[in-house]
Amino acid sequence: MRSALQQPFKTAVLVLVWGWLLFLVFTPNLLVVGASVMTRDPGSFIALPFSLDAYRQLLNPLYLEVFLHSLYMAAMTTLCCLLIGYPFAWALSKVPKQRQMLLIFLLIVPFWTNSLVRTYALKLILATNGLLNNALLGLGVIEEPVRLLYTEGAVIIGLVYLLLPFMILPLYSVFDDLREDYLRASHDLGAGRWPTFIHVIVPLTLPGVLAGIMLVLLPAMGLFFVPDILGGSRNLLVGNVIKNQFLDARNWPFGAAASILLTLAMAFLMFAHKLSKKRLGEDGV
């Protein structure tokens, strides 16, 4: 009786979830894979025959340079997020429970505003005659306005601002699980603050660090509107290359191949994350 009632509900949920994944995740990705192995066609964007030219083009030193620079900016972003996010998450886990919820809520509130709008707001702050420069001039800290907008620094600031919560949240969850017993045990066994940090805290929070890196590094390479708005359409990310290939150069197979490169990089990071978790699990036993 019970199962008969539950069965239709269960089936409906399964159909919904699988249908969603199939049509909105699997099929679009399959189309991207399909486009990447076809030939560029000026008239209809993609055409037969199948070819791996797009992937060969990825190995071209020109694009390699773009990817490396993009990776560099994404890595700087991740590093900044980590340097800010790690102590932030640690401090957050030390705050009384009730206030923690409020702080996390405040962390999430900016998501209620579209990120494009927030990036434009950042532009107003960083501009030569913007808020920051006017404030610094007014305080007498600087004599001449500092050029912040349309620089590599501005792109990294924008990316850090947009992605910081994605670093803090997984770190917070591992710090929240960090048991005081371990730290006390470490102290009792004679380890000072520094050895405790290196040998106990870092390994135990590593899964959070890796999850944070995963959530920041790859999205940082894709947020093409940040260089467009804050970088003066310079300091390109892989996301800009993909957008340019689809819209301006009309080389869909190449754009698709570049996008798949990002997906593969993500898969690699997830694999590393899984591996580290597994190792950590064995160490813990």
Mask of contacts with other proteins, 57-86, x by CB under 8 A? -----xx-xx--x-----------------
Q: Among 81, 234, 96, 80, which Cα is nearest to 152's? A: 234
E strand segments, 153-263: none
Total Cβ atoms within 10 A of residue 154: 23
User: Is the CB of 145 or the CB of 203 nearer to other proteins?
Assistant: 145
Count each helix (H run) and each strand (E run) in the chain, helices first: 14, 2
Say if residues 262 and 218 touch (Cβ distance below 8 Å).
yes
Residue among 105, 247, 282, 285 that touches other proteins (CB under 8 A) = 247
- Tell me the Ramachandran region of residue 147: left when phi exceeds 0, alpha when psi lies from -120 to 50, beta otherwise: beta
Footprint of other proteins on 159-198 (CB under 8 A): none
E strand segments, the chain: 39-41, 45-47
Mask of contacts with other proteins, 98-127, x by CB under 8 A? -----------------------------x
d(CA 75, CA 61): 20
Nearest approach, Cβ of residue 45 and other proteins (Å): 7
Return the structure tokens found at 54: 């797009």
Nearest approach, Cβ of residue 255 and other proteins (Å): 11
Residue among 7, 27, 29, 263 that touches other proteins (CB under 8 A) = 27
Report if residue 241 touches other proteins, rule: CB under 8 A: yes
Stretch that binds other proteins, among 12-20, 111-119, 245-253, 261-269 (CB under 8 A): 245-253
User: Is the CB of 51 or the CB of 128 nearer to other proteins?
Assistant: 128
- Residues ≥6 apart with Cβ < 8 Å to 252: 35, 38, 40, 45, 46, 245, 246
Nearest approach, Cβ of residue 79 and other proteins (Å): 19
User: Is the CB of 41 or the CB of 173 nearer to other proteins?
Assistant: 41
Report if residue 48 touches other proteins, rule: CB under 8 A: yes
Burial of 212 (0-12, 13-18, 19+ CB in 10 A): buried
Report if residue 244 touches other proteins, rule: CB under 8 A: yes
- Residues ≥6 apart with Cβ < 8 Å to 250: 40, 42, 45
Report if residue 234 touches other proteins, rule: CB under 8 A: yes
Mask of contacts with other proteins, 140-159, x by CB under 8 A? -------x-xx---------
Report if residue 248 touches other proteins, rule: CB under 8 A: yes
Positions in the binding site for other proteins (CB under 8 A): 24, 27, 31, 34-35, 38, 41-48, 62-63, 65-66, 69, 127-129, 147, 149-150, 232-236, 240-241, 244, 246-251
